[in-house]
Amino acid sequence: MTEQRGGPVSPADITPRKRWYWIAAALVVVGVVLGCGAFFLTAKIFSEALPDAGKTFPSGQAAVVQFTSTDELVIYVQLAFDMDPNQSVPANTTVCTAGSDVTLKKVTDQIVLSDQSARRMWQAVYTAKAAATGDHELTCDQEDGSVATYGLGEMPWGGSLVAGVGTFVVAIGLPCVCILAAAVIVIVVLVKRRSNRRRLAAGSSGNAAIDEYLRNKGQNPPPPPPV
């Protein structure tokens, strides 16, 4: 009995559908947009935490700071712009004092902010919180008597290391994951479409039992249903 071969293959019969390419492209766009958003959010939060130019004071000089009862400010010490934060001796030897109505706490985590525009680096040394709203004095010095500059700013991410690291991971990792997932989708769809195109051209339905039955009856197997 003569076996009939399949004729020209209609693009509409080839699966998976080409819409999967658009889904992969959309995945890349979403990943890049969200990653850029997380990056700019991180940059904005860190820039807002930097000490303002009007909130700096030298060592040995009392700074009058206006607090509200809900404020928690961060005292930063200025580092040399090219200094290795792991060897930031000024931060380790900074001693700050304030009135009894201001609570000072030493910052144990290494938090270093970089102000690229002013070519300055700041390392957090103390947090300061007042019991009542009003003006309060702060004084900072170096134990070795060296001259330093201090500034008042905020704690990025409210001091949450997990939040800061998480946002950074999202900014870098999310676009990479989306691009990788899109590449996998494109490769899988491309391979399957080529395989199905060859099968349809050969007159196969994709089911060996059905193909054999139809060939024995001298008929071409039908194309598989769209997915």
77-125: per-residue pLDDT in tens? 988 766 665 555 566 788 999 988 899 999 887 788 877 666 778 888 9
38-88: per-residue pLDDT in tens? 888 877 777 777 787 778 899 988 888 888 878 888 999 988 766 665 555
pLDDT at 178 over 90: yes
pLDDT category of residue 6 using cuts at 50, 70 and 90: very low
User: For the whole model, what pTM was predicted?
Assistant: 0.59
Q: Where are the domains of the chain?
A: 11-39+167-216, 51-158
Q: Are 98 and 160 in contact (CB under 8 A)?
A: no
Question: What letters, b where the CB count within 10 A reaches 16 and e where it falls short, cover 62-80?
Answer: ebebebeeeeebbbbbbbe
9-42: per-residue pLDDT in tens? 566 667 788 889 999 999 999 999 998 988 888 7
